[in-house]
Amino acid sequence: MRFFSHAALTALLLSLAATAFSADEDGYDLWLRYRPLERAAQQRIQVRSIVLPGAPSPTTDAALAELNKGLSGMTGRAPASAARISDGALLLATPARLPELAAAASPLRTELAALGDEGYLLRQARIQGRNVTLIAANSDIGLLYGAFAWLRETAAPAASRALAVSSAPKLQLRLLNHWDNLDRTVERGYAGQSIWDWWALPDIKDQRYTDYARANASLGINGTVLNNVNSKPEVLTAPFIAKAAAVADVLRPYGIKVYLSARFSTPLELHETATADPLAPEVQQWWRAKADEIYQAIPDFGGFLVKANSEGQPGPQDYHRTHADGANMLAAAVAPHKGIVMWRAFVYAPKGAHLADDRAKQAYEEFKPLDGKFAANVLVQVKNGAIDFQPREPFHPLFGAMPKTPLMMEFQITKEYLGYSTDLAYLGAMFEETLESDTKAAGTVAQTLSGMAGVANIGSDRNWAGSHFDQANWYAYGRLAWNPQAKSRDIAAEWAALTFSPDQRVAAPIVDMLMMSRETVVDYMTPLGLHHLMGTSHHHGPAPWVDNLERPDWNPVYYHRADRNGIGFNRTATGSSALQQYAPEIARQYADPRTTPEQLLLWFHHLPWDYAMPSGRTLWAELLARYDKGVAGTKSLHARWVVLKPLIDARRYTEVEQRLARQINNAILWRDASIAYFQSVSGLPLPPGVQAPAHPLSYYKALSYPYAPGRG
């Protein structure tokens, strides 16, 4: 008979666990994997007990459950909960729970005071004469955020070994927007169905709702809009309010408020009013009563998100009222309950109406004059750029231009225009680029914000995001919503360590892949400031030739304006003058192509094909070189992944590899089709060394993508 020591047994158990995990990771656990740590890392964890002074709450229950889950996973055992503070305790405390923290003499008192309702600090501390690991906050939700932060530090320790973290969110509103329909289709969703199973609710509450709450709370996301901005009246009927309330009950302990997208014409369409005019008393009364009804079911309901008078949605302009009239009417209904209204600035002229000469200008033209006219509980939600979530856009000119109105940033986490969930594109880099842009009017874009909304990439797919790497975009969005000045590379490093391995042989190359990925997509899809060249409706694949859609501004040719002489959209004073919507300093700088950032060149300028680029190449040659660079980038991504095979669990390795291989083909398709088309327009020969497209232009024009996903 053989014998095993306790240590050997533990090691064996952990290695078995590790083997099982590595053989079969499916991505469901996201960045909350809590896989067994290396022995040395385990030994650094000095937690012998967990102590929560005072009465538990649903939120502290969630924090303790997470700490248990995390420590069990990472060390093979969960420390007992204890009532008394002893050496080695992991202590969760607020000033209310532990009067020492509120004592004048406490060195932590001031620090805590600065952290607000949601902040937390992590510290090795001496409390009641004992050496403890302290998670301190002013509220239970701060403790939950702190617990997640401590687990993150433990699973993927920063270089510095001293535990001295203190953190508070810079934005009060950190939301996900689900473009999820009530039939569980998801507009621009590439990760399966909506996780909200409206049919099964309220009786059946999927385990996913809890895991969704955990994942979001781990990032500090504190609100979620459950349904699509292209909303339906039924979502505000009693059965659906009860369903939303059931979701709210699950999310509440995690500090996440539920919001709903409201269709402006709801009372009219439900035949409960004769109009939806925001100034009609019966309409105002209907919305007040509706708000009361909702708050009866969901006492902490967040409020409404509204897409009005845009892309066919109803709105106040149908009654010759302004966006402010509409928003303020709804705001009055939710104000008694401390609710808010998020009113989207993504508008463009209705079908059939007179089109502005440049769609990029419309939001600014409609909203800028309304600055100061919105009620106090209205926020205007502005997309990062003035067109529509392109691989690259300059920041939206409304940022910095509405000083009297709280603004929310709307980012799109789901990759409508950046390769769905099949192509790898790390959006952290893109979000950062927008957030750190200097408005030259009110600081950086980040500094103009009161909140942030991310159009979710979450679905029923086992890995939540449709691909493993797309989880990084959810993660990066959440971390940037907490701190819009964070660096996308740091976030990438954190994510890679948590999601794959803290082993730098794994994490470092993955960070490199992430950081190069978005620019790679820009290169093979829309280099040098080109935009909106994607296939009609599904937005997959290249279609720069499309010129026959009902609205001029749906056509790629409207945006690239390529002809025999040149390419690009002139938005200077000699063109659409959209540039004038920016602060004068920017407008001056960008008025000259020589001082316009190369990456935005054709966004602002129409230039001749032989325009001399800084590289010394002509614009034509530079454009071709960018496409080639994009293709090379996808090959590089694939090659970087393939060498990681021995270090990555088999399932995730394969799932990523298949996507990266497909991305190479997608990049080649974009390159070849774009070159074939632009050559047909420019009439220019390909410079020596540039490979001709594999097929004639007619081949690319004939490609179609029936049943492409994401149409909702």
| Residues within the interface to a copy of itself (CB under 8 A) | 1-7, 9, 12-13, 16, 26, 181-185, 192-193, 198-200, 203-205, 207, 232, 234, 420, 422, 460-462, 651, 655, 658-659, 661-662, 665, 706-709, 711
Q: Which two tokens stand for residue 135?
A: 């998670």
**What is the C-alpha to C-alpha distance for residues 214 and 217, in angstroms, rounded to an integer?**
5
Q: How far apart are CA 349 and CA 345, in angstroms?
A: 12
Rounded Cα distance, 652 and 24, in Å: 8
Query: How many CA atoms are closer than 13 Å to the CA of 78, on its beta-carbon side?
Result: 14
Cβ-based nearer residue to a copy of itself, 2 or 594: 2
CB of 310 to a copy of itself, least distance (A): 23
Which residue, 489 or 662, has its beta carbon nearer to a copy of itself?
662
Q: Closest Cα to residue 630, out of 527, 514, 712?
A: 527
Contact 423, 520 (CB under 8 A): no
Among the listed residues 318, 358, 388, 649, the single catalytic one is 388
CB nearer to a copy of itself: give 184 or 640: 184
311 is annotated as an active-site residue: yes
What is the helix (H) or strand (E) element at residue 165, kind and residue range? strand 164-167
Concatenate the DSSP letters of all residues of 80-142 into one string. EEESS--TTEEEEE-TTT-GGGGSTT-HHHHHHHTTTTT-EEEEEEEETTEEEEEEEESSHHH
Minimum CB–partner distance for residue 30 and a copy of itself (Å): 15
Q: What residues contact 707, with CB distance under 8 A and at least 6 apart?
A: none
The H or E element spanning position 607 is: strand 607-608
CA 51 to chain CA centroid, Å, is 35
- Is-catalytic flag, 211? no
Rank residues 88 and 202 by Cβ distance to a copy of itself and give the closer one: 202
Nearer to a copy of itself, 77 or 126 (CB): 77
Question: In angstroms, what is the minimal distance from the CB of 658 to a copy of itself?
Answer: 5
Nearer to a copy of itself, 207 or 548 (CB): 207
CA dist., res. 308 & res. 224, Å (int): 19
Residue 177 or 422 with smaller CB distance to a copy of itself: 422
Least distance (Å) between residue 709 CB and a copy of itself = 5
Which is closer to a copy of itself, CB of 22 or CB of 460?
460
Identify the CA nearest to 371 among candidates 350, 345, 389. Answer: 345
CA 641/CA 513 separation, integer angstroms? 8
Pairing between strand 378-383 and 340-344?
Answer: parallel
Is 657 a catalytic site residue?
Answer: no
Q: How distant, in Å, are the alpha carbons of 54, 106, 115, 123, 168 from that of 111? A: 22, 10, 7, 12, 11
Q: How far apart are CA 197 and CA 193, in angstroms?
A: 9
* Residue number with CB closer to a copy of itself (232 or 635): 232
Instruction: List the one residue out of 390, 504, 510, 368 whose CA is nearest residue 441.
Output: 368
- What letter represents residue 113's amino acid? A
Is the distance from CB of 264 to CB of 314 less than 8 angstroms?
A: yes
Q: What SS3 class is residue 28?
A: coil
Cβ proximity to a copy of itself: between 9 and 612 the closer is 9
Rounded Cα gap, residues 277 and 60, in angstroms: 45
Among 29, 180, 358, 416, the one annotated catalytic: 416
Matching residue, tokens 């410079």: 687
- Residues 298 and 245: their CA atoms lie apart, in Å, by 5
The catalytic site residues sit at: 311, 388, 416
